[in-house]
């Protein structure tokens, strides 16, 4: 499968995620416990990956599966990073409001680029760096509060701790992505086996999280498994299936493409959600959304288009022939003498 | 003189123009007739160019000055285009409000690129086209109305005539620039002689415009020359000198650089004015201004940086040697046979 088809599918599914989540609410609130959704999605991913691993193992018994502890112990780390990230996120929101938090979230595009360069040692051209910054600028532009909306004085007036935690949050989010890519590309293990390890720890950490919630609330609603599917409707199940599927696609991109492709997919999804919301939830289209879309499209083209499509390279266009000619001539000369 | 120094000076002076004009007001209104400013600026440019032409003629009597009618008759055309543009501008403003008009004004960046390509047949790379579009997007972003400001419903709700006239206005503005560049580069005439012709017609058209104003108002304040300097203060004179100087710099850029350089200078000036207004007039800094500045800086770099600074060009780096080697080998071969 081509990576750009997977990326396009991820864009569509990530975009549907926001819309399905909104549709799953009744009168602006959730009838179900939203914390159960990520748990069930992890469980779904584990079951799918397990089945696919079983099928793979049946058709070709030589499937590569590293099972020694030194490799397996690396798989809970993404879950640990996400856990820390969740807590930093909560801490950030005590200092800044949600719209400032949303704006700062775009920083993770840039931090992903930086960690991608530092940890995975992937070289990017100047133009690609500019494209990454422009992608972050484009998504931020689309989120600029328009006139008529509530006051946005808060943006430049949060305490410094809020901004520092926002930056930390962006770094952790990028780190989780970059680390997962490192893990998936580390060896030639079966993709499904890697997923099974990743999601097993995902399920465990999510269960622990749900249990912690129960302890916090003093088990006033009983244990989490007793009210797991309370209030679930068809849309809620679609939210779960959708979240699980996007997770599997992200995992595929981490192994066969990279973090930057993922970042582009999810950023485009955010814009697509905003455009679809105009039709579905009669959101008012804004000038800044339109500008943001243009900026992100330019960024996409700058990052992925081959350089000779972007700039005129007189030497490169003529280059392929002379060197070949040179070789031929050299050979002829050698046979002459 | 290097073109980028002239461009930087133009940016600073164009930016001061907005600030000086604001400072020349008393309690939000002009104490003088603003229509007299362009006339005096044209007159200033004519005097400066005339003196410089006289000095040039004294030092080297062989100064190139085409005086036949077929060339001279081309010089009133920019004035005619500006006259039509002014009228279209008035017509546009009867359909759209000033902030929509200001937003649409950014279109002239793109129309200048298009006419530059079509009429002056200058080739631009894909990346340069993207840079031009991004410049327009960046200046527009900086102008997006923030929260707390008046309602901006008007932006998408003006009658279609308003938008069409706005596009026409952007085309006329671009046409005037591209035509002037064509005129200045048409032959090797003395730069000062070209200016003298341009500004002579400029002075005539401005005088005619002032007289027309008098006729419209039924000479209730007498003829324009009777109240020409009424209410002029030191700041008003600085506005005149500044406008005249920016005109001369633009003329220099048209002859020795091009329209795109001018468009970048004036766009950067707009952003500089907004930044300076934060300090001078305690304007509130907005997120969109910050984003607009980043976008325009990226665009500047994309347009003017040499391609090998932007993308990795393995073939170009190695290319210079093989072709030379090829020639040498070919010659050797010929002498062998």
Per-position DSSP letters for A116-158, written without gaps between them:
HHHHS-----HHHHHHHHHHHHHHHHHTS--TTSPP-GGGGTS
Cα B235 off chain centre by: 23
The domains of chain B are located at 67-186+285-313
Q: Which of residues 192-221 of A touch B (CB under 8 A)?
A: none
Longest Cα–Cα distance in chain B: 95
Are the beta carbons of B8 and B260 closer than 8 angstroms?
no
* CB-nearest partner of B134 from A152, A156, A298: A298
Alpha-carbon distances of B213 from A199, B25, B223, rounded to whole Å: 78, 21, 9
Are the beta carbons of A159 and A82 closer than 8 angstroms?
no
Measure the CA–CA gap between B264 and A181, rounded to whole angstroms.
41
Q: Find, among B337, B317, B314, the residue nearest to A329 by Cα.
A: B337
Q: What is the mean pLDDT of residues B157-166?
A: 90
- Residue A154 has what pLDDT? 60
Residues in chain A: 337
Q: What is the pTM of this model?
A: 0.88
- Residue A148 has what pLDDT? 59
Measure the CA–CA gap between B316 and B308, rounded to whole angstroms.
8
Q: Find, among A84, A88, A118, the residue nearest to A101 by Cα.
A: A88
- Selected residue with higher pLDDT from B257 and A30: B257
* Contact assignment for B294 to A137 by CB distance below 8 Å: yes
Measure the CA–CA gap between B283 and B272, rounded to whole angstroms.
13
Cα B283 off chain centre by: 25
* CB-nearest partner of B298 from A133, A291, A316: A133
Instruction: Report the chain A residue with the minimal C-alpha distance to residue B149.
Output: A147
Measure the CA–CA gap between A48 and B160, rounded to whole angstroms.
54
DSSP state for residue A147 in the 8-state scheme: T
Does position B331 have pLDDT exceeding 80, yes or no? no
- Residue B151 has what pLDDT? 57
Does position B328 have pLDDT exceeding 50, yes or no? no
- Selected residue with higher pLDDT from B156 and B132: B132
* CB-nearest partner of B311 from A148, A295, A307: A307
A332 touches chain B (CB under 8 A): yes
DSSP state for residue A96 in the 8-state scheme: S
Q: What is the mean pLDDT of residues B261-275?
A: 96
Average pLDDT, 10 consecutive residues per value, chain A (337 residues) = 93 94 86 90 97 94 90 94 91 88 94 96 94 98 77 72 94 97 94 96 94 89 87 93 97 97 97 94 90 97 93 56 40 39
* CB-nearest partner of B133 from A287, A298, A329: A298
Q: Which of residues 58-117 of A touch B (CB under 8 A)?
A: 103
Measure the CA–CA gap between A131 and B298, rounded to whole angstroms.
9
Are the beta carbons of B305 and A306 closer than 8 angstroms?
no
User: Which residues of chain A have a CB within 8 Å of the CB of B123?
Assistant: 312
Helix (H) or strand (E) holding B279: helix B259-280
Instruction: Identify the sign of the CA torsion B25, B28, B31, B36.
Output: positive
* Contact assignment for B144 to A144 by CB distance below 8 Å: yes
Does position B262 have pLDDT exceeding 70, yes or no? yes
A245 Rama class: left (phi>0) / alpha (psi -120 to 50) / beta:
alpha
Are the beta carbons of B268 and B296 closer than 8 angstroms?
yes
Instruction: Report the chain A residue with the minimal C-alpha distance to residue B289.
Output: A141
Does position B258 have pLDDT exceeding 60, yes or no? yes
- Selected residue with higher pLDDT from A153 and B160: B160
- Three-state secondary-structure class, residue B33: coil
Are the beta carbons of B13 and B242 closer than 8 angstroms?
yes
Contacts of B140 (CB under 8 A, 6+ apart): A287, A291, B103, B106, B292
**Share of residues in chain B with pLDDT > 70 (%):** 90
- Residue B63 has what pLDDT? 87
Interface test with B, best of A99, A135, A298 (most B CBs within 10 A): A298
In degrees, rounded to 5, the angle at the alpha carbon of residue B107 between the alpha carbons of residues B104 and B112 is 150
- Residue B166 has what pLDDT? 94
Q: What is the mean pLDDT of residues B4-27?
A: 92
Measure the CA–CA gap between A127 and A133, rounded to whole angstroms.
10
Taking the CA of residue A29 and the nearest CA in chain B, the distance in Å comes to 27
Dig out the tokens for B239 from the structure.
């506005």
- Residue A260 has what pLDDT? 97
- Residue B337 has what pLDDT? 36
Contacts of B186 (CB under 8 A, 6+ apart): B71, B74
Taking the CA of residue A158 and the nearest CA in chain B, the distance in Å comes to 14
A316 touches chain B (CB under 8 A): yes
User: Which residues of chain A have a CB within 8 Å of the CB of B150?
Assistant: 147
Are the beta carbons of B230 and B32 closer than 8 angstroms?
yes
Q: What is the mean pLDDT of residues B159-168?
A: 93
Instruction: Identify the sign of the CA torsion B207, B210, B214, B215.
Output: positive
Task: List, in sequence order, every residue forming a beta bridge with A26; answer none if it has no partner.
Answer: A29
Are the beta carbons of B48 and B280 closer than 8 angstroms?
no
Does position B190 have pLDDT exceeding 90, yes or no? yes
* CB-nearest partner of A307 from B133, B313, B330: B313
pLDDT, tens digit (0-9, with 9 covering 90-100), for B37-64? 999 999 999 999 999 999 999 998 888 9
**Rounded CA Rg of chain B:** 24
DSSP state for residue B220 in the 8-state scheme: T
pLDDT, tens digit (0-9, with 9 covering 90-100), for B86-143? 899 989 988 988 888 889 999 999 999 999 999 999 999 999 999 999 999 999 999 9
| ipTM, 2 dp | 0.86
* Contact assignment for B316 to A312 by CB distance below 8 Å: no
User: Which residues of chain B have a CB within 8 Å of the CB of A291?
Assistant: 137, 140-141, 144
A31 touches chain B (CB under 8 A): no
Task: List, in sequence order, every residue forming a beta bridge with B26; answer none if it has no partner.
Answer: B29
Taking the CA of residue A149 and the nearest CA in chain B, the distance in Å comes to 6
- Residue B315 has what pLDDT? 53
pLDDT, tens digit (0-9, with 9 covering 90-100), for B219-251? 888 888 888 888 899 999 999 999 999 999 999
């Amino acid at each position: 499968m081509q990576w750009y088809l997977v990326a396009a599918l991820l864009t569509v599914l990530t975009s549907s995620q926001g819309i399905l989540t909104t549709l799953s609410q009744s009168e602006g609130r959730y009838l179900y416990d939203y914390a159960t959704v990520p748990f069930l999605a992890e469980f779904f991913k584990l079951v799918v990956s397990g089945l696919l691993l079983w099928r793979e193992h049946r058709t070709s018994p030589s499937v590569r599966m590293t099972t020694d502890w030194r490799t397996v112990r690396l798989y809970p780390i993404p879950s640990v990073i996400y856990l820390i990230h969740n807590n930093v996120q909560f801490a950030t929101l005590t200092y800044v409001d949600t719209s400032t938090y949303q704006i700062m979230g775009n920083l993770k595009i840039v931090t992903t680029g930086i960690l991608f360069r530092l940890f995975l040692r992937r070289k990017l051209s100047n133009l690609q760096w500019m494209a990454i910054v422009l992608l972050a600028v484009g998504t931020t532009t689309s989120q600029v509060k328009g006139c008529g909306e509530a006051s946005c004085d808060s943006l430049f007036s949060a305490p410094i701790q809020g901004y520092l935690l926002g930056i930390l949050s962006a770094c952790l989010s990028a780190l989780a992505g970059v680390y997962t890519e490192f893990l998936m590309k580390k060896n030639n293990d079966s993709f499904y086996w890697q997923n099974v390890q990743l999601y097993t720890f995902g399920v465990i950490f999510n269960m622990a999280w749900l249990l912690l919630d129960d302890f916090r609330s003093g088990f006033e609603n009983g244990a989490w498994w007793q009210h797991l599917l309370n209030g679930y409707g068809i849309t809620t199940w679609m939210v779960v299936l959708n979240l699980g599927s996007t997770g599997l696609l992200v995992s595929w991109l981490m192994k066969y493409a990279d973090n930057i492709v993922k970042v582009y997919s999810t950023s485009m999804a955010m814009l697509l959600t905003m455009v679809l919301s105009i039709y579905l939830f009669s959101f008012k289209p804004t000038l800044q959304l339109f500008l943001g879309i243009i900026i992100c499209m330019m960024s996409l083209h700058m990052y992925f288009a081959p350089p000779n499509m972007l700039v005129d390279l007189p030497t490169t266009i003529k280059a392929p022939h002379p060197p070949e000619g040179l070789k031929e001539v050299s050979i002829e000369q050698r046979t002459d003498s």
